Amino acid sequence: MNPTFSGELMHFLDTTGQQFLENLTELLGFLRDNFGNFLWRLLGVVFIFFCAGLVMKWISKFTAHTMEKNRAILSVDQSRRVDTLMTLIRSAARYLVYFVAFLLVLGQFGGGMVQNVLVAVGGIGGIAFGFGAQNLVKDVVTGLFMIFENQFSVGDYIQTEDAVGTVEATALRVTYLRSAKGDQIIIPNGSIDRVINYTRGSYIATIVVSTAYEADTRQVITVMEEALREYGEAHQDLIEEPPVVRGIDALGESTVDISVACKVKPMKQWEVERGMRLAIKEAFDRRGIEFPYPRMVTVPWADHLSPPPEPEKDDSPTLFGWDPAPAPEFEEGTLLDDSLEDSPLAGDDGDGDGDEDGGEDAGDEK
């Protein structure tokens, strides 16, 4: 090993070890001389957060008591407005209380450190807010406008672009919804562009009843009016105006569609629609009126069998203009005899006479 490199390495290790021991000794001496102060400040931090928790608990109880009190003396719309304001106050108080607690915790470590931290947070935080906190500012501003404009309140059933549910709470940055299945949906206020509030004002419950072409449409409408009149008299707590049969809404391919409308109280439209369908169904059953439905007719195939069709004659032109002649037809037993009549072996009956005749003919020729 190079002695120069070895010397430098040893000097580096000695210096590093000496500096580490000096700092460790200084830290231990600081803890020995200031451990009481450090423990006191730690207890102060715990006490600050404990007080912050008590303040938040008191604010929660105060807002809950205010909401319960106003529900008993105010109307439904006004009590929901108060609930919305109370949840907003609770959310704003949470941010304020914990921000003050954070400043008090920093104050436990000296005013100079607090000033340095605030300067650092102001410098770095300003850049961070300029680039990355645009959505946060948008959420807060949008939430304030939605609350002050009273677009919806706690307890309203609303629909946004991506969610449908009942408003549970509104905060400075987000809105809490509860869906019909029980799921909690948290929506940033800045992402809400359009709100449909199903709770405000009256609502029209509408249904369409499909009837058959074979039925007497005027009689069907009369039966529907009687059934809906009885339903309206039995459920006056749900409706504001009696149900009305509007008439034929459409003539379909196999159905006559009749529409019905009824002005109902808020959030009762689905219950009334289901009730009107049940009342009409029961009335149709009593009068023997059938609803149209697809029918299938089955025909036994064996009773309607027909002979197979005759094969079509092929009139296509022959190949190269040549039509082969049909094969000759022979009677049974004549094919072999007729083909051997002119053969030289026709006179050979198997006893050698043919050979002798042939030999005599050959001798005469000679």
Structure confidence at residue 34 (pLDDT): 73
Res 74: pLDDT: 75
- SS3 readout for the chain: CCHHHHHHHHHHHHHHHHHHHHHHHHHHHHHHHHHHHHHHHHHHHHHHHHHHHHHHHHHHHHHHHHHHHHHHHCCHHHHHHHHHHHHHHHHHHHHHHHHHHHHHHHHCCCHHHHHHHHHHHHHHHHHHHHHHCHHHHHHHHHHHHHHHCCCCCCCCEEECCCCEEEEEEECCCEEEEECCCCCEEEEEHHHCCCCEECCCCCEEEEEEEEECCCCCHHHHHHHHHHHHHHHHHHCCCCECCCCEEEEEEEECCCCEEEEEEEEECCCCHHHHHHHHHHHHHHHHHHHCCCCCCCCCCCCCCHHHCCCCCCCCCCCCCCHHHCCCCCCCCCCCCCHHHHHCCCCHHHHCCCCCHHHHHHHHHHHHHC
Sign for the CA dihedral angle at 246, 247, 252, 255 comes to positive
The pLDDT, as a whole number, for residue 139 is 80
In this prediction, the residues of the chain whose per-residue pLDDT falls under 50 are: 335-336, 339-340, 345-366
What is the per-residue pLDDT for 154?
Answer: 83
